[in-house]
């Protein structure tokens, strides 16, 4: 069918009009908070302890610089044990999370969704949208949606699904939408399919590595009971508290890979990057604001020579 030229122009104008809000909301974060205001960062994991493992060092650095950091666990962890379970375990893990947050200097929230039963439902998506809005986040960091654990995968999907909706007023209308779209990033992982992790931002956590391990130590039910049991190395857990910390530091040592070293050098310079012993890496999500180099340096102020 041949469309008259005036109709074609009308259709093009209409499409541009409809796309305008999307384009404006997806612009790079030129409207992010200036450096004289504390940044607001929310790390989102599937279980209490996930954020500690994947971003505890970076969170400690942000907190030490006066920025506001929240850890959010999407499930209550009520299935993560070989002997305990249900409400009793959920309460124990919530207490461990609170203590971990105290040691890191961050806020730690735990949503009341069952461990091992998470699905990317509208209800949970709305929970996450509300949490991001309430925190007024500049940065949102979560898992990629490809992982061995379904809770991890679906947490990644849920955060992706929230990435645009945090700015839509008629979605979760009881909480005001964000005025700026946050920058969304992924935690590091080792999974290769359908695509491997890409280290876009790498943070040297050498100076706060002990603090990260101390926070992980608060999750006694996980690092000294459940994970060793399910992994078949329960007999290797030391009984002495100090030795236990050294032990998990050896397991979760956050090593600097060659790929990470190259990114560290880009931001920290050759000398400082060569001295980094421990680091955490993050990939920029293609949803949300797309940061330029100057935005990354502002949003990660610890990246300095």
**Mean of all residue pLDDT scores within the chain:** 91
CATH number at residue 106: 3.40.50.10320
**Per-residue pLDDT reduced to its tens digit, 181-201:** 999 999 999 999 999 999 999
Say how far residue 247 (Cα) sits from the centre of its chain: 25
Does 170 fall in a domain? yes
**Which range of residues forms the domain containing residue 66?**
37-202+282-299
Per the CB < 8 A criterion, the answer to whether 276 and 204 are in contact is: yes
Does 242 fall in a domain? no
Instruction: Using DSSP bridges, classify how beta strands 201-204 and 279-288 pair: parallel, antiparallel or unpaired.
Output: antiparallel
CA neighbours closer than 13 Å in the CB half-sphere of residue 160: 15
136: left (phi over 0), alpha (psi -120 to 50) or beta: left
Per the CB < 8 A criterion, the answer to whether 285 and 163 are in contact is: yes
Does 161 fall in a domain? yes
Cα 237 to Cα 204: distance, rounded to the nearest angstrom: 28
Kindly indicate the confidence band of residue 25, based on its pLDDT and cuts at 50, 70 and 90.
low
Q: Which of 6-15, 81-90, 159-168, 171-180 has the lowest mean pLDDT?
A: 6-15
Say how far residue 284 (Cα) sits from the centre of its chain: 11
Of how many residues is the chain composed? 305
Question: Percentage of the chain surpassing pLDDT 70?
Answer: 89
**Per-residue pLDDT reduced to its tens digit, 28-62:** 443 444 457 999 999 999 999 999 999 999 999 99
**Per-residue pLDDT reduced to its tens digit, 146-157:** 999 999 999 999
**Per-residue pLDDT reduced to its tens digit, 218-228:** 999 999 999 99
Torsion 189-132-158-88 (CA) sign: positive
- What the block records as the tokens of 48 is 């209490």
Statement: residue 301 has pLDDT above 70: yes
Instruction: Tell me how many domains the chain contains.
Output: 1
Please give the pLDDT value at position 16: 45
Does 131 fall in a domain? yes
**Coil, helix or strand for 214?**
helix
Does 244 fall in a domain? no
Does 51 fall in a domain? yes
Cβ burial, residue 168 (10 Å; 0-12/13-18/19+): middle
Statement: residue 14 has pLDDT above 90: no
Statement: residue 251 has pLDDT above 70: yes
Q: What pTM was computed for the model?
A: 0.89
**Per-residue pLDDT reduced to its tens digit, 261-291:** 999 999 999 999 999 999 999 999 999 999 9
Does 78 fall in a domain? yes
Please give the pLDDT value at position 30: 39
- Helices 209-217 & 86-104 angle (0-180, nearest 10): 160
**Coil, helix or strand for 288?**
strand
Which DSSP string do the residues of 261-295 spell out, in sequence order? HHHHHHHH-HHHHHT---EEEEEEEEEE----HHH
Please give the pLDDT value at position 21: 45
Statement: residue 96 has pLDDT above 90: yes
Please give the pLDDT value at position 6: 42
Please give the pLDDT value at position 12: 41
Statement: residue 230 has pLDDT above 70: yes
Statement: residue 75 has pLDDT above 80: yes
Kindly state the average pLDDT of the residues 58-83: 98
Statement: residue 127 has pLDDT above 70: yes
- Helices 86-104 & 50-64 angle (0-180, nearest 10): 30
């Amino acid at each position: 069918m041949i469309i008259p030229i005036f109709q074609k122009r009308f259709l093009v104008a209409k499409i541009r009009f409809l796309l305008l809000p999307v384009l404006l909301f997806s612009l790079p974060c030129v409207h992010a908070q200036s450096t004289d205001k504390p940044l607001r960062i929310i790390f989102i994991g599937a279980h209490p302890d996930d954020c500690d493992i994947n971003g505890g060092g970076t969170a400690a650095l942000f907190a030490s610089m006066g920025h506001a950091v929240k850890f959010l666990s999407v499930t209550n962890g009520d299935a993560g044990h070989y002997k305990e379970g249900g409400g009793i375990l959920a309460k124990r893990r919530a207490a461990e999370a609170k203590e971990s947050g105290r040691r890191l200097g961050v806020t730690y929230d735990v949503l009341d969704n069952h461990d091992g039963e998470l699905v990317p439902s509208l209800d949970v998506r709305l929970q996450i949208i509300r949490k991001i809005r309430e925190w007024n986040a500049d940065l949102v960091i979560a898992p990629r949606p490809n992982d061995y654990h379904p809770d991890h995968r679906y947490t990644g999907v849920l955060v992706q699904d929230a990435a645009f909706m945090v700015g839509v007023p008629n979605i979760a209308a009881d909480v005001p939408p964000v005025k700026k779209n946050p920058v969304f990033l992924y935690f590091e992982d080792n999974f290769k399919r359908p695509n491997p992790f890409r280290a876009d931002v790498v943070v040297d956590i050498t100076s706060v590595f002990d603090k990260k391990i101390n926070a992980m130590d608060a999750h006694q039910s996980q690092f000294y009971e459940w994970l060793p049991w399910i992994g078949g190395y329960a007999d290797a857990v030391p009984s002495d508290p100090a030795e236990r910390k050294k032990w998990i530091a050896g397991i979760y040592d956050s090593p600097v890979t060659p790929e990470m070293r190259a990114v560290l050098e880009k931001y920290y310079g050759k000398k400082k990057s060569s001295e980094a012993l421990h680091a955490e890496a993050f990939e920029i999500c293609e949803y949300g604001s797309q940061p330029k180099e100057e935005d990354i340096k502002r949003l990660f102020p610890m990246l300095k020579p």
